[in-house]
Structure formats: C-alpha cells, structure tokens
Structure 1
C-alpha cells in the first residue's frame, strides 16, 4: 500500500535561471516562496535571459543569508548583494508576453554577470509592491508572481521522475527539472489528476501542466546540453505538439512549508495532459 503523500523537497531559485537552493523549511508569501525568482537577468533590450539562450547561467550558484544574496561562479570572486530593496533605476522589463517594472540592482552586479556570461546584461529586482498578475485564463485576479515563467509553483512527484528515469535508462536528479515542491508517497504522474491539494497549512490549485523547454537538457554541473529528457518525453508525454512534466500551481494562502508536511488531495479531475 502506498504511504500518504508528503512534501519531500523544497527548492527556491532566487535569480531566474541560475542554480537553485534546497531548503528544509521556507515561508510562502503572496507571490510564492520567499525570494523565489525575485531577481532576473535582462539583456540590453530589457528582455529576460534564461538558460534557453545562455546555458552557462546554470553554473552560477546562489546562496541566501538573512541579509545577503551571494552569487558564485567559476573563476570569479563571489558577488554579495543586499536582500533589501534597491533604489536603482526603474526599468520596464519583458518576460514572455508580460511587461513589468523592475529595479536595477547595481553596476557592480551588471559587470560581474556580463563578464562571466560574455553578454551585456543587467540584474534586476522585483519590489514587493510591484504587481505581476498570473495569466487570467488560469488564475484569480488576486494571484501574483515574481519572475517565474508564469506560475509561482512547479510541483513534481518523486515517482514521476523515477518513472521517467526508467524510461530514459538514466538517473537524472530532481534539480535538473527545477521544481519548487517535490512530493513523495504517491504514484508516478499522480499529480496529473490533482486539482486542489493542501501541503501542511497551505492550499494549492493546479490549473495547468508544465510544458517543458530545453532547460532540462542542460546538465546543471557542466552547462552542457544533450537530447534527454526531451527525446523520451516526446515519446511518452507529448500532447498537442508539446511535452509535459510536472504541474504548475497557485496558492490560496501564506504560511510556512516544511519537509515532511502531509499532502492532502482535495479534488481530482481528468489527467492533464490527457495521456493514458
């Protein structure tokens, strides 16, 4: 008999598309996990940058203390930045189809990142008072998010990855898929049918499966790209010309998540994507 589902992993990504951080407990704010993708890199046209365009971004590590965000990259001294809101220039930045306001962090940060990535770029920060709404096709008017692609959370179950690894005959680690919340104690792809769940004291809605891009093909240790997992996902998880792995999620309330929190499934529906 399968044990009750529980939260087995929490990951935050302070800077969009840079390396993430595994934590044992973490606060959830109105925009999602605290500091999760509150920073972002933009190019000279103020468009967001990601590993899709610059795989080398995977090599920049992030670390958080109570007062600082630290970036580390091979061959460079660490860059230490204050967590408090910056008074830098306000920029209108573009992330997918959204335009939102952000603050430039510092010329020092811009220079450090531009030197490592060999591209003219800036580090920007989203102030707490800035409102970036979630796609109204899937969200409520009050739902908001930092600089994630579209939703504040990505949920993946441990057994879904185990099943995918068997299909690939590989052993990819979970961080390669950049989830926020990892669930153990459920069947593989059980999350495909979840609609509303609670994890500890926080309630979640799962309106849409996550269509995957090229980022999981990038080895986070080397920044080198391969064909997997997209090759196998296109065979076993393809629908309407896209491949899917994991579920996007929105939250109804704030609180604190802890590793080991019980996961309760309140409402299920047809599998999304509708793959048998």
Structure 2
C-alpha cells in the first residue's frame, strides 16, 4: 500500500530543504515552516531561483526546534543566525551575497507558495524521482529531488502514481493522507529551476526538452490528459481545507483516494 516516506520543508524559499518526521497543516493549507520566509529586493520583488541563479550557490542547514539557520557559500564561511532574533544580521548577510539590499519576509498563514490557489503541499512518488533520474544518467535521485523540491514523497507506488490524484480540470479529487483530508488539483507547471544544477546554478541546456519528450512518452493511462497542454509538468499541487488546520502528517501515513468534487 502506498505510504508517506519523506516530508521535506523549505523554510526559506529557494534555499535548501530539511527532512522531518512530521509536519503540521497551517490555516492557509501549507505546511508549517515550509516557505515560511522569502527574500525580497528593494522594489518588493521576490528574490528566488527563477530570477537569479546566484541563490543556488547558497547552502543552508536548519535547526527548526532552535529556530536557527546556518548559511554559507563557496566564498563565505558558515555563519549561524537565529531566524527571529538575528533577522537584521541575516538580511545583511544575504544583501552581501546578492550585492543589493534584500530582506526576509515571513508569512505564518501559508508561507510563500508559488501557487496561492493550490497552496497545499506538493506530492510525488519516489518511483517518479527514480524514473526521471534514469532519463538523465549524470543526475542522481538526490539531485532530481533537489531540483523539483517536493514536500511529500510516496513510496510503494509506481512512477507518476500521483497523476491519478487529480480529476478533470476545474474539479478537485479528495483523498486522505493519514489524518489529513486533501484535494488533488493539477500537475505543477515547472520553471527554469529544474534545468539548473542545485548546487552551482549551471544550466543543463536540453533538460526541459528531454524531460518533456520523456514525460509525454511515459504519461500513464490514469493521467487526465486535459491537464497536459504541455508536458513540462511534474508533482501534484493540492489544496487542504481550513478544517484540517492543526492536523499532522507523519512518516508512514497511508493514502485513501475518494471521489471528485
């Protein structure tokens, strides 16, 4: 039976993630601490990997219980900051890296997801990651994981199993993951980020074209083809109703699929 095998949170948008054994649902449908912070420039625009490859060179290690982050780059030695008490110093560190004023903003309602209409955790099967790694012999499963940055991974399920957790466009498919009721929405449209090395930002020139070709060729029979106006799509975007706020995901949770609403 498919079960939840990995939970990944990305406390600062576009930086490294942290694996946890459980995660709490926020009122806005996202996971607590996932994309809780994002960087913004002086014009109020988000500073993320879509806009600048520099962010790929930043390494971050989080201690969520202590509310601390340790950051470094190839040119800068590791430094530790308290996410709340050292905010000004952390902003100054990021400003030096990007060579422009930037600052962290915080959202405790839903974080800073790319899709605010489907703000729930993204979901993928482990077999999907393994299959995609097989398309690119020079890339490991770990590297594919870091490029696509999904929250919930499902094991004991075939490749692209997550494609069946969505109904026709405009509908939502209910399913239960552990104690949490969720709604499958659509396959996530990908951006430039997965084409880049997660550590250096170097771009693999034919990644998007090769991915799309293979994705189309291996699209499972259970996928709703009307969601695929193009095939550069991967992972399930979800919604989590406000009634689920405060509930928890745990490693080992099983999935029960419902009917479209």
Any idea what SS the aligned residue of 1:267 has?
coil
SS in 2 for 1:109: helix
Separation in structure 1 between the aligned mates of residue 206 and residue 101 of structure 2, nearest angstrom: 30
Encode CA deviations 1:168-214: one digit per residue, 9 max, x unaligned. Answer: 33434223210000011112112112122211101111111100111
The answer on 1:171 being equivalent to 2:174 is no
Preserved CA contact (<8 Å) 1:70 1:81: yes
Q: 1:229 to 1:268 in 2, by over 3 A?
A: farther
Q: Secondary structure at the match of 1:73?
A: strand
Matched, 1:41 2:39: yes
Which structure 2 residues correspond to residues 68-147 of structure 1 after superposition, within 5 A? 68-74=67-73, 75-83=76-84, 106-128=87-109, 145-147=110-112
**2:169 aligns to what?**
none
* TM superposition outliers: structure 1 runs of 4+ over 4 Å: none
TM-score (norm 1): 0.75
* Bigger mean CA deviation after superposition, 106-115 or 201-210: 106-115
Unaligned ranges ≥5, structure 1: 87-104, 129-144, 270-276
Quick check: 1:159–1:187 contact (8 Å CA) kept in 2? yes
2:53 is matched with 55
- Contact 2:32–2:108, Cα closer than 8 Å, also in 1: no
Unmatched segments (≥5 aa) in structure 2:
166-172, 217-227
How far does residue 223 in structure 1 lie from its aligned partner after superposition? 3.0
Greater share of helix residues, 1 or 2? Answer: 2
Distance 1:212 1:251 in 2: 21
Partner secondary structure for residue 159 of structure 1: helix
Name the structure, 1 or 2, with higher relative contact order (CA <8 Å, separation 6+): 2
Instruction: State how far apart, in whole Å, the 2-side matches of 1:17 and 1:229 are.
Output: 19
